[in-house]
């Protein structure tokens, strides 16, 4: 994993922190990347997570955590620059491409990603996954929404309710 | 329990497992049409999508649209039916696009001769209180739903406002009607048809004009009381901080809770920081009080701040005209000025035009003020005096 930022200049190398997932896998990442999480930021500022300690994250499993960290590492340089001023259009387009591909995932992974983003309070990731789910709903009929989001087929009474609703707001289905 | 009884192949959507606040965050990103569709998808989504707080939050995220009300035949009825579709349209300033908000169909053309049969009386939380041919309706342009409202009857009443009643989350209409030249104010809850009069405080032995003023003040106080409950404290402070000082001072008279709120030092500081910076420029003789000036009793001194055009900041009245040379500004902090004239020091607040004389200070010619600052812990302001060298 490339580290283009030289960090705060401690011994010339970026400061690393260790995160421990719920199934006891250890992940070592740059402090700048982990600090995208509001939850971790304070601990890291206090000097936690360094050396052999590690920060335990009992709510996040290793598969999800590696996915989350992939996002953090990609977005950390842009966040460190404060976003706009230095970022070229190419950089931004590249991030956008990455984001689009990043959320192109299985629904169970998406679910754990949503929960992890909220637990760790990573603002960018939160809005990214929320937008993904919103896009899955947009432009579809109720039946399609049910299928896309993995609902079981409706029971007869559910179907009746659905029809009644569609009758009430007919224009919304034009 | 239900899960264990179900067949294993019967899947569950991950949406159902999401906490409600995350679900509502996702739904907030959807256009209104799909929020409505979500209502048909399943119970859990329907519950979130029809929650009052959620709908209000969703409404606030929508771009503002200016309402234009005019009559336009938008229907395609055959001419011999004599039907016209009237519509109210909103213009979206960002895309220069008209959007139809409400439509009515009626059977005659008389409105085209002049007066529009439409009137929009009030709006609140994205709902419109409007009338068509003197019949009142409450419309929700987003869901295209409407209810007919029987009270107030427009023939006798004038609508003053529509507001959300905080504790009951009902919508209420404030209106007035004239009774032997005196205005009477009433409130009715949308959908209930019951009207409640607002008693006037001081209608006794006063001219009709005074009574009107009192009634207006009373009713606006009532509206404010309700409206104040609805808007969160911090949002309210945010709005007030953007208003000019004179409006803030006027608000204090409107109701008690606003009075307290606008007197809070933290708020005043925020408000001051929102104001444009005014470098102090000069003091000069003001000749507005010409009578007093001619009589030789006193003159007025004004301190002006540079802002185009110049604004009066402080006014002093002195016994002798020579005193204006001795008006001096020693320091400023949070919009307060520390001033002195010939015989005393003053702290002035130019925004509220209030001032206080500083006690227990040596006279201005005998000391020099080094600084003026806010003492954080006590919230008091302090001036620092250097050791004096005569």
Q: Assess: ipTM above 0.90.
A: no
Q: Are residue A94 and residue A160 in the same domain, yes or no?
A: no
B12 to A144, B8, B287, B362, B384: CA distances (angstroms): 15, 10, 82, 81, 70
In this structure, what token pair is assigned to residue B88? 């109210």
pLDDT tens-digit readout, B334-386: 667 776 766 677 777 766 666 777 766 666 556 656 566 655 545 555 555 54
User: Do A166 and A132 lie in a common domain?
Assistant: no
Greater pLDDT, B378 or B45 = B45
Q: Please answer whether residues B129 and B138 qualify as being in contact, where contact means their C-beta atoms are separated by less than 8 angstroms.
A: yes
The reply to whether residue A130 touches residue B29, judged by beta carbons under 8 angstroms, is yes
Write out the residue range of the structural domain in which residue A72 sits: 14-138
Q: What is the pLDDT of residues A25-78, one digit of tens each?
A: 999 999 889 989 988 888 888 877 776 678 889 989 999 999 999 999 999 888
Bridging pattern class, strands B182-189 and B170-179: antiparallel
Cβ of B14 within 8 Å of Cβ of A165? The answer is: no
Tell me if B52 is assigned to some domain. Answer: yes
Residue B103 domain-assigned (yes or no): yes
Q: How many domains does chain B have?
A: 4
Closest-CA residue of chain B to A110: B14
Is B37–A149 a contact, with Cβ atoms under 8 angstroms apart? no
Q: Do the Cβ atoms of A140 and B37 come within 8 Å?
A: yes
Strands lying side by side in the sheet with B328-333: B328-333, B336-340, B345-349, B354-357
Tell me whether residue B227 is in a domain.
no
Contact A146 B10 (CB under 8 A): no
Q: A171 and A101 share a domain?
A: no
User: Is the domain of B70 the same as that of B192?
Assistant: yes
Q: Are residues B73 and B56 in the same domain?
A: no
Looking at B31-40, B48-57, B167-176, B311-320, which range is the least confident one?
Answer: B311-320
| Residues A74 and A132 occupy one common structural domain | yes
β-sheet with B145-149: strand ranges across: B118-124, B127-132, B135-140, B145-149
Q: Which of A110, A134, A149 sits opposite B30 (nearest CB)?
A: A134
State percent of chain B over pLDDT 90: 0
Q: What is the pLDDT of residue A45?
A: 83
Select from A121, A122, A134, A136 the residue whose CB has the most chain B CBs within 10 Å, as the one to mutate to test that interface.
A134
Give A96→chain B minimum CA distance, Å.
Answer: 18
Q: Are residues B252 and B352 in the same domain?
A: no
**pLDDT attached to residue B130:** 83
Please indicate, yes or no, if residue A38 is contained in any of the structural domains. Answer: yes
Instruction: Judge if A165 and A119 occupy the same domain.
Output: no
Q: How many domains does chain A have?
A: 2
Global confidence as pTM: 0.53
Tell whether A3 is covered by a domain: no
A145 vs B contacts (CB less than 8 Å): 37-38, 41
In a domain, A60, yes or no: yes
**Which residues in chain B touch residue A115, judged by CB atoms under 8 angstroms apart?**
18, 22
- Are A28 and A114 found together in one domain? yes
Does B42 sit within 8 Å of A151, measured CB to CB?
A: yes
Question: Does B185 share its domain with B84?
Answer: yes
Q: Is residue B256 included in any domain, yes or no?
A: yes
Question: Is residue B259 domain-shared with residue B188, that is, in the same domain?
Answer: no
How many beta-carbon contacts under 8 Å exist across A and B? 82
Range of the domain at B49: 12-61
């Amino acid at each position: 994993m490339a580290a283009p930022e030289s960090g705060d200049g401690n011994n010339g190398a970026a400061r690393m922190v260790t995160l421990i997932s719920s199934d006891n896998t250890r992940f070592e990442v740059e402090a700048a990347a982990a600090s995208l999480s509001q939850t971790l930021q304070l601990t890291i500022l206090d000097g936690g997570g360094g050396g052999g300690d590690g920060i335990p994250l009992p709510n996040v499993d290793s598969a999800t955590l590696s996915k989350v960290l992939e996002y953090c590492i990609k977005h950390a340089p842009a966040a460190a620059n404060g976003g706009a001023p230095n970022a070229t259009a190419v950089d931004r387009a590249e991030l956008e491409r990455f984001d689009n591909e990043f959320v192109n995932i299985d629904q169970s992974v998406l679910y754990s990603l949503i929960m992890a983003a909220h637990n760790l309070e990573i603002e960018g990731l939160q809005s990214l996954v929320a937008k993904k789910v919103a896009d899955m709903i947009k432009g579809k009929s109720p039946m399609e929404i049910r299928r896309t989001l993995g609902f079981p087929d409706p029971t007869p009474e559910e179907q009746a309710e659905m029809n009644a609703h569609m009758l009430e707001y007919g224009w919304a289905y034009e | 329990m239900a899960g264990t009884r179900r067949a294993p192949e019967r899947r569950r959507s991950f949406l159902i497992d999401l906490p409600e606040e995350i679900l509502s965050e996702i739904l907030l990103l959807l256009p209104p049409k799909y929020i409505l569709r979500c209502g048909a998808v399943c119970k859990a989504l329907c519950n979130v999508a029809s929650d009052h707080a959620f709908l209000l939050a969703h409404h606030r995220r929508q771009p503002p649209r200016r309402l234009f009300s005019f009559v336009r035949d938008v229907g395609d009825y055959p001419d011999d039916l004599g039907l016209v579709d009237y519509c109210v349209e909103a213009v979206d300033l960002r895309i220069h696009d008209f959007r139809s908000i409400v439509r009515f169909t009626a059977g005659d053309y008389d409105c085209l001769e002049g007066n529009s049969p439409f009137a929009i009386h009030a709006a609140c939380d994205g709902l419109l209180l409007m009338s068509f041919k003197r019949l009142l309706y409450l419309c929700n342009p987003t869901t295209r739903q409407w209810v007919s409202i029987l009270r107030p009857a427009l023939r006798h009443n004038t609508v003053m406002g529509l507001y959300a009643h905080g504790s009951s989350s009902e919508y209420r209409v404030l209106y007035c009607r004239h009774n032997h030249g005196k205005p009477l104010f009433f409130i009715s809850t949308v959908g209930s048809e019951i009207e409640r009069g607002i008693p006037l405080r001081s209608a006794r032995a006063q001219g009709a004009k005074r009574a009107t003023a009192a009634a207006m003040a009373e009713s606006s106080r009532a509206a404010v009381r309700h409206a104040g409950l609805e808007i969160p404290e911090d949002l309210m402070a945010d709005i007030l901080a953007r208003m000019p000082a004179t409006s803030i001072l006027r608000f204090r008279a409107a109701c008690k809770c606003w009075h307290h709120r606008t007197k809070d030092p933290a708020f005043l500081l925020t408000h001051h920081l929102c104001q444009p910076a005014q470098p102090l420029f000069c003091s000069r003789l003001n000749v507005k009080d010409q009578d007093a000036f001619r009589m030789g009793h006193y003159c007025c001194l004004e301190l002006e701040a540079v802002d185009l055009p110049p604004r009066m900041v402080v006014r002093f009245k002195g016994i002798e005209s020579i005193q204006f040379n001795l008006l001096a500004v020693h320091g400023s902090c949070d919009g307060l000025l520390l001033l002195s004239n010939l015989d005393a020091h003053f702290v002035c607040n130019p925004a509220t035009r209030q001032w206080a004389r500083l006690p227990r200070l040596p006279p201005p010619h005998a000391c020099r003020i080094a600084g003026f600052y806010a003492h954080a812990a006590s919230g008091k302001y302090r001036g620092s005096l250097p050791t004096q060298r005569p």
